[in-house]
Structure 1
Amino acid sequence: MNKAVQGFLLASTTALMWGVLPVFLKFLLSALDAYTVTAVRFVFAFGFVSVGVVFCRDVPRLKQAKPIVWYLLVLSTLFLLLNYVTNVIALEYISPATVQLILQLAPFILLVGGVVFYKEHFSAWQMFGAVLLLVGLLLFFNQRIPVILSSSLESIEGVFIVVLSATAWALYALAQKRLLIAFTSRQLTFLIYLIGAVLLTPLSTFSSLQNLSYWQWWVLLFCCVNTIVGYGAFTRAMHIWEASKVSAIVAVAPVFTYFANKLAIVIAPDVYFDAEMDLLAYFGAGMIILGAIIASIGKRHGA
C-alpha cells in the first residue's frame, strides 16, 4: 500500500473518529459532567502513551527545554483542556452536528494565527477558502440563530461556547508548533496528557462513574479509545502525507457527525434531537466544509 492510500485512509479514520465523537459524548452527559469525562479520557490516553514513551526510552527530561518553553507547554495544555471541556459543555445547549460545524472555525483561526505569529504566507486560494467559510457561516446562522433562540431544545449559549472551543484549539495548535522544536511528538503528547490529567483531577467527580449504565460504560470506553485512534491516525497521516490533503479530508468530519446524529435519533430519540435547518442553512453548511477544504489545499498550492 503506497503512502498516498495510507494517508487517505488515516485521514479518513481521523475524520470519522472526530465526526462521531460529539454524538457519543452527548450520551454520557446524563451521568457525567464535562470535567469528569475529559479527565477520564486524559488519564486513559496518558496511560497508553506512557507505555510507548517508556518502551522507546523517550521520556522527556527537565533540562531538555528552557523554562519559557515549559511555561508555554502548560499554557498550551490549558488551551487544549478548554477545547475538550467546552466541546462537551456545548452539547448541553446545541446539537452535535451544529457543534462540529462551528468547530470548522478552528482551522480558519489557525491560518490567521500562522500569519500573525509565524509570518506565514496567506495565499489567494487560502483567502478564497476563508471567505467561502465565513460566508457559509453567515448563511448557516442566518436561519439557525432565530430557530435556536425560539427553540426549547437548543440555546444560543452553545454557539458562543463552541466559538470559544474552536479558538482554544487554534491557540493550542499555534503553541504546539513552537513546542515541537523542543520535544518529539511522542514526548509532547505524553506531557500534555500528564499535565491535563493532573489539572483536571481536582475538578472531576470520579464517584459519578458508578452511576453509569452498561451502555454508558461502553460509550465512555469508545470515547477514550477515540482520543488515541483519532489523534494517532492524524499524527501518522501528517507524517506520511501532505498536511494540506490531510486537513482537507479531516474537514469533512461534520458530514460524519450529521449522519451519526441521524442514526442516534432513531436509536435514542429521548436523548438526541435533529437540528432544525432549511435549504439555505444546508447550503451554508456545505460552503463551510468546502471553504475549510479549499483553505487547507491552498496552503500547499498558494504562491
Structure 2
Amino acid sequence: MSLHQSSGRWRLGLALSLLTVFLWGILPIALTVMLQVLDVYTIIWFRFLVSFVLLAVYLGVRGQLPKLKQLRSNSWKLLAIATIFLASNYLLFMQGLALTSPANAEVLIQLSTLLLGLGGLVIFKERYRLYQWIGVSILTLGYLLFFREQLTNLITAHSTYILGSVLIALGAAAWAIYALAQKQLLQSLSSASVMLIIYGGCALLFTPLASVKSIFTLGNLHLGMLLFCALNTLIAYGAFAESLEHWEASRVSAVLALAPIVTLISIEAVSVITPYLIPPEHLTLIGILGAVLVVAGSVAIALGKAERL
C-alpha cells in the first residue's frame, strides 16, 4: 500500500497547525463551563452535528461534496477506523475532563501528539535529525517543569481524579490512531471531504445518547458557549486535517504540543475577567521556564528540514 506524501508547503502547514493549537488550547475552558449544564453525550453530539451540517453546506455550495463511489474498500475501512476512534477520543476526553481540570486534561492529552509523532516516524517513514531529537528532549524537560504542580496532583490525587486522568490518556491514544488514519485517507479524498464523512458518522453514533431537549433550556451564555464548541470543532479539525496535507505528521504533532500553554494562559485571563467560571492556575518561575523550554523544543522539531528514510 502506498503511503501519503506531504505537499511540502511547510509554511502553510505551520500556520494551520498554529491555528489548531490556539483553538484546542482554549477549548477545555469552554467545555468545562458546558459540563456544568449539559451531559457529555449531548455536548459531543451537538458539536459533531453542527460541524457536519455547516461543512456539508459549504462543500455543497462549492460543488465539492465527496463522491463516495470512487472510494476503494481500503478507504472505507480507514474511514470507519477514523470515525470510531475520533468518537472515542471525544467521549474519553470529555469524561476525563469532568473528573479532573482543564489544565490537567490538556497536559495528559498531549500524549496524543507524542504518539502521532512516533506514528509519523514509523508508519510514514518520516525522520528526525539529531538536533530535532534534542528538541524532543528539551520539550519533555519543559513539560516536566511547566506542569510540575499538575503532575504532583496526579500522583497524590484521589481515585476520581486518577480515573479521569486514565480516561484522558486512553483518549489520547484513540486520537493518535484517528489522526494517522486521517493522514492516509488524504490519498483518496480531500481533507474537507474526510472530515465531513467523519463528522456525520460520529453524529450518528451519539444521536441515541443525546438529550436534545436540554439544549433548549440553556441561557444565552451557555448556548453561545455550546455554539463556540461546535465551531471550534469545525475550524480546528479542518485546519488540523489540512495541515497534514502539507506537512509531516511528526512536525504537526510537535507544534500541537504548544496547546497546554495556550490553555494555562487562557485560564489565567478568564479567571481575572470572570472568576466565577474557572478557578485560576498559579504559574511559578519554574513553570514559566518550563513554558520557554516547551516552545524552544517544539520550534526545533517543527522547523527542522524534513528527511526520509
TM-score (normalised: structure 1): 0.83
**Amino-acid identity (%):** 35
Distance 1:250 1:140, change over 3 A: closer
The match for 1:18 among 4, 24, 42 is 24
- Give, in angstroms, the shift of residue 62 of structure 1: 3.8
**Structure 1 contact 108–292 (Cα < 8 Å) conserved:** no
The match for 1:300 among 299, 303, 306 is 306
Matching residue of 1:168: 174
- 1:188-267 to 2 correspondences below 5 Å: 188-234=194-240, 250-267=256-273
**Structure 2 contact 183–245 (Cα < 8 Å) conserved:** no
Q: Which amino acid aligns with 1:73?
A: L
Equivalent residue of 1:155, what SS?
helix
Q: Distance in 1 between the 2:291 and 2:229 partners?
A: 26
- 1:79-228 to 2 correspondences below 5 Å: 79-140=85-146, 143-148=149-154, 150=156, 155-228=161-234
Q: Distance in 2 between the 1:149 and 1:213 partners?
A: 38
Q: Distance in 1 between the 2:262 and 2:185 partners?
A: 31
- Give, in angstroms, the shift of residue 209 of structure 1: 1.3
- Give, in angstroms, the shift of residue 111 of structure 1: 1.7
- List runs of 5+ in structure 1 lacking aligned partners: none
Distance 1:298 1:138, change over 3 A: same
Q: Which amino acid aligns with 2:48?
A: F
**Structure 1 contact 100–254 (Cα < 8 Å) conserved:** yes
**Structure 2 contact 135–300 (Cα < 8 Å) conserved:** yes
Q: Distance in 2 between the 1:137 and 1:101 partners?
A: 8
**CA shift digits 1:194-221 (9 cap, x unpaired):** 1111111112222221332221001111
The answer to which of 122-131 and 132-141 deviates more is 132-141
The answer to whether residue 293 in structure 2 is matched with residue 287 in structure 1 is yes
**CA shift digits 1:231-286 (9 cap, x unpaired):** 34445666678988876655433232112211222344344223466544554454
Distance 1:278 1:159, change over 3 A: farther
The answer to whether residue 17 in structure 2 is matched with residue 41 in structure 1 is no
The match for 2:80 among 70, 74, 78 is 74
Distance 1:176 1:299, change over 3 A: farther
**Structure 1 contact 107–170 (Cα < 8 Å) conserved:** yes
- Give, in angstroms, the shift of residue 150 of structure 1: 4.9
Q: Distance in 2 between the 1:240 and 1:147 partners?
A: 39
- Give, in angstroms, the shift of residue 12 of structure 1: 4.3
**CA shift digits 1:132-162 (9 cap, x unpaired):** 333344445654333345568x823333233
Q: Distance in 2 between the 1:36 and 1:49 partners?
A: 20
Q: Distance in 2 between the 1:265 and 1:47 partners?
A: 33
**Structure 2 contact 111–169 (Cα < 8 Å) conserved:** yes
RMSD, matched Cα: 3.3
TM-score (normalised: structure 2): 0.81
- List runs of 5+ in structure 2 lacking aligned partners: 1-8
Equivalent residue of 2:63, what SS?
coil
**CA shift digits 1:104-138 (9 cap, x unpaired):** 33222112112222333233233222223333444
Q: Distance in 1 between the 2:116 and 2:54 partners?
A: 28
The answer to which of 172-181 and 257-266 deviates more is 257-266
**CA shift digits 1:165-188 (9 cap, x unpaired):** 222222111111221112122221
Q: Which amino acid aligns with 1:113?
A: G
Matching residue of 2:69: 63
Q: Distance in 1 between the 2:42 and 2:230 partners?
A: 12
Q: Distance in 2 between the 1:70 and 1:7 partners?
A: 26
- Give, in angstroms, the shift of residue 98 of structure 1: 2.9
How many equivalent residue pairs?
301
Q: Which amino acid aligns with 1:101?
A: V
Distance 1:103 1:293, change over 3 A: farther
Q: Distance in 2 between the 1:287 and 1:105 partners?
A: 17
